[in-house]
Amino acid sequence: MIATWPCPLADGAVSEELLVTIGEGDAASLLIIPPLFAEQNLMRRQLVLIMRHLADAGITSHLPDLPGWNESLLPSSEQSLATWRVAMSEAARHLDATHVLAVRSGALLVPSGLKGWLYAPQSGDKLIRTMIRAQGIADREAGKAEASDQMMDKGRIEGLQLVGWDVSSELFRDLQSADFPGGDLLTVISQEEAGGSGLWLRAEPGEDLKQAQQIASLIANSIPSSSSEDA
Amino acid sequence: MCTQPAQTEEHDVSTQEENLSETDTALKSIIADVLGLEAATVNEFTPETGLFGHLPELDSMAVAGLLTEMEDRLGFIIEDDDVDGEMLETYGGLLEFAHTKRVEA
């Protein structure tokens, strides 16, 4: 089901953001947090596949947009990690989330207190370094040469456009020092456990049915089914 | 760079060959992941197989992902200055780069 959810903004206004919900089961309400920037587009198809498999296991899952993401009408250049974290916590509350599945840099936005899984989590620093590297390669191809250090300074001071994404100085600095949470509530799903390869590595969005089934099973197997006859 | 003692030279040569073959396997596995290719296809890569500029799948973001995966899986850091056209142009160039980095690491 495709709907919207009311995302509260820092200035007190509300932004209606896209929400994809799949499943009607009551075993769990799972909040899905996709990776940030380019990897979000590359992973969306695979995430929806995982959601379909979760629905078969009685788990309802939700994939909300945040301001500046995907279909959002708000510019990405005006967002910060802090506002995204608040927004994701609000989404969890609005959706009565019982669990969370965060993928790659989506792990930086996990609301505190939720049980769940981090699939191949990535730190903010590594995300920024990879985007800077990609921009550097594209610049060199275009005959421009700006060293990574210069781009880093520019990002911290005035913000910059990285591989097509407007990153504000605040978001840039936030990301540089952001790490994903640990603790007993969260379990890391490694690439070995998921099987196949990380689809965010590809140049085009792809899907891997077997991997989607595997990730959904890893999650479903550790959530007791409330609709099960054995329960 | 340190000079190896003479008595272990033979052993070092075979270790280096083992390292090269290990790097070759790991690098092919990373490329297969990035390009979404079967292992069998990547196993047919020769030193002359063209990469950046030859394969449309290898855009700047994919190359950046490739370099980051190499750092993670092969255990070295790639500096700005290391990345040039020659290193990325062919499989042989990339393998030689990765092997040298691993020996230095």
pLDDT for B55 equals 85
The stretches in chain A having pLDDT less than 50 are 227-231
pLDDT for B8 equals 59
A29, A97 in Cβ contact below 8 A?
A: yes
Q: Would the ipTM clear 0.85, i.e. be above it? A: no
Could you state, in order of their start, the residue ranges of all structural domains in chain A?
2-122+180-220, 124-179
- Taking CB atoms and an 8 Å limit, are B80 and A201 in contact across chains? no
Closest partner residue to B60 among A134, A148, A201, by Cβ? A134
Query: With helix as H, strand as E and coil as C, how does A124-159 read?
Result: HHHHHHHHHHHHHHHHHHCCCCCCHHHHHHHHHHCC
| CB atoms inside a 10 Å sphere around CB B4 | 12
Shortest Cα–Cα distance, A143 to chain B (Å): 12
Question: Cα separations (Å) of B82 from A105, B17, B29?
Answer: 26, 23, 21
Would you give the DSSP letter of residue A177?
A: T
Q: What's the CATH superfamily of A2-122+180-220?
A: Alpha/Beta hydrolase fold, catalytic domain (3.40.50.1820)
The stretches in chain B having pLDDT less than 70 are 1-11
**B23-104 is a CATH 3.40.640.10 domain:** no
- Taking CB atoms and an 8 Å limit, are A137 and B60 in contact across chains? yes
Q: Residues of A near B (CB-CB distance < 8 A)?
A: 38, 126, 129-131, 133-138, 141, 147-149, 163, 197-198, 200-204, 206
Strands A14-22 and A28-33: unpaired
Could you state, in order of their start, the residue ranges of all structural domains in chain B?
23-104
